[in-house]
């Protein structure tokens, strides 16, 4: 709904400016959107796939909206972009504080509703989503500031508390990426020592959370991957449409005489498998090409 005003601006006042901003990366993303739309219209629930009527509400319109927002941000002046970065960073800082407070409350009141199985939910409502948001927010931490290391430790602590293993890996990746983008003269103990420290903490925490959260017959990513592989073989070219994972996994578990009761499985936890399920191998090829062109364009 928040993208509706942007769509209206695009149709009228901004249409000429936006046209000048479209580049090769946008072409491949739009080709994926078109493929996803065709897959959705020919899929198992066209309306939900287009509008986003499943658990996460990430249908075709959602992915198109992300692109509209990205291109609109490119129209902002340098000053406004810097303000936007600061707002995003402050939002992530506040979220980190909320996560830490929620974990503290859980220790004091184990029956607290601000956590799920002891994992804080922030204001987003799901631990892994909170971890992902904090990782994205950490990318906006200024590299040349007296508060840089403090903010990195704050974000690391909050991400660790969410117990999101993917978020921990992603945080390490962003940290090391910033490290290698520094000039050689900056690769001193001021940079290398914190990198080693953070790496050690993250690896230790990954091992810890992995050992504490053993997979079950139902919540098992290897099972998700095997089911996805079988489903992809059945419709390899265009897939089943956006947001069809919930229906597909529910059906597959029933066929295996393991009906899902009180549990929703709508993702394989592997982006490329999910994209292939939604838009087939054709969509996956456009998606990977888009990622490649994005990397080459902005790095």
Query: Over the Cα atoms of the chain, what is R_g?
Result: 21
Q: Region 125-151: what's the mean pLDDT?
A: 88
Give yes or no for residue 211 having a pLDDT over 60. no
The pLDDT score that the predictor gives to residue 118 is: 84
- Residue scoring higher pLDDT (299 or 245): 245
Q: Region 206-225: what's the mean pLDDT?
A: 66
Domain spans in the chain, listed from the N-terminal domain onward: 1-75+216-299, 78-212
- Model confidence band, residue 183 (pLDDT cutoffs 50, 70, 90): low
Give yes or no for residue 159 having a pLDDT over 60. yes
Q: How many CB atoms lie within 10 A of CB 249?
A: 24
Percent of the chain exceeding pLDDT 90 equals 41
**Of 85-89, 121-125, 259-263, 267-271, highest mean pLDDT:** 85-89
Q: Region 264-279: what's the mean pLDDT?
A: 90
Give yes or no for residue 93 having a pLDDT over 70. yes
The pLDDT score that the predictor gives to residue 201 is: 59
Q: Region 205-226: what's the mean pLDDT?
A: 66
Q: Region 130-152: what's the mean pLDDT?
A: 88
- Residue scoring higher pLDDT (51 or 53): 51
pLDDT in tens, 102-123: 999 888 887 777 888 889 999 9
Q: Comparing C-alpha atoms, which of 280, 255, 277 is closest to residue 266? A: 277
Give yes or no for residue 78 having a pLDDT over 60. yes
Percent of the chain exceeding pLDDT 70 equals 85
Give the torsion sign (CA, 66, 69, 75, 79).
negative
pTM score:
0.79
């Amino acid at each position: 709904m928040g993208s509706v005003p942007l769509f209206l601006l695009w149709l009228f006042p901004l249409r000429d400016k936006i046209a000048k901003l479209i580049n090769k990366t946008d072409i491949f993303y739009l080709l994926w959107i078109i493929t996803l739309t065709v897959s959705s219209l020919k899929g198992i629930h066209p309306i939900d796939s287009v509008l986003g009527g499943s658990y996460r509400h990430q249908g075709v319109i959602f992915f198109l909206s992300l692109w509209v927002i990205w291109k609109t941000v490119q129209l902002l002046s340098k000053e406004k972009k810097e303000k936007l970065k600061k707002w995003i960073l402050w939002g992530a800082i506040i979220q980190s504080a909320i996560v830490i407070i929620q974990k503290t409350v859980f220790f004091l009141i184990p029956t607290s509703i601000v956590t799920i199985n002891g994992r804080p939910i922030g204001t987003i409502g799901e631990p892994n989503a909170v971890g992902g948001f904090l990782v994205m927010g950490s990318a906006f931490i200024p590299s040349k500031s007296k508060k840089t290391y403090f903010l990195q430790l704050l974000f690391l602590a909050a991400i660790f508390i969410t117990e999101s293993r993917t978020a921990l890996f992603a945080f390490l990746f962003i940290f090391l990426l910033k490290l290698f983008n520094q000039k050689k003269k900056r690769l001193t103990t001021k940079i290398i020592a914190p990198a080693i420290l953070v790496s050690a903490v993250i690896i230790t925490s990954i091992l810890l959370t992995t050992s504490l959260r053993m997979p079950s017959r139902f919540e098992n990513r290897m099972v998700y991957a095997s089911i996805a592989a079988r489903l992809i073989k059945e419709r390899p070219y265009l897939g089943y449409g956006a947001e069809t994972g919930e229906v597909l996994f529910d059906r597959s578990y029933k066929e295996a005489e393991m009906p899902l009761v009180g549990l929703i499985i709508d993702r394989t936890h592997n982006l490329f498998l999910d994209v292939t399920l939604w838009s087939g191998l054709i969509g996956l090829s456009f998606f990977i090409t888009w990622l490649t062109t994005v990397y080459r364009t902005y790095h």
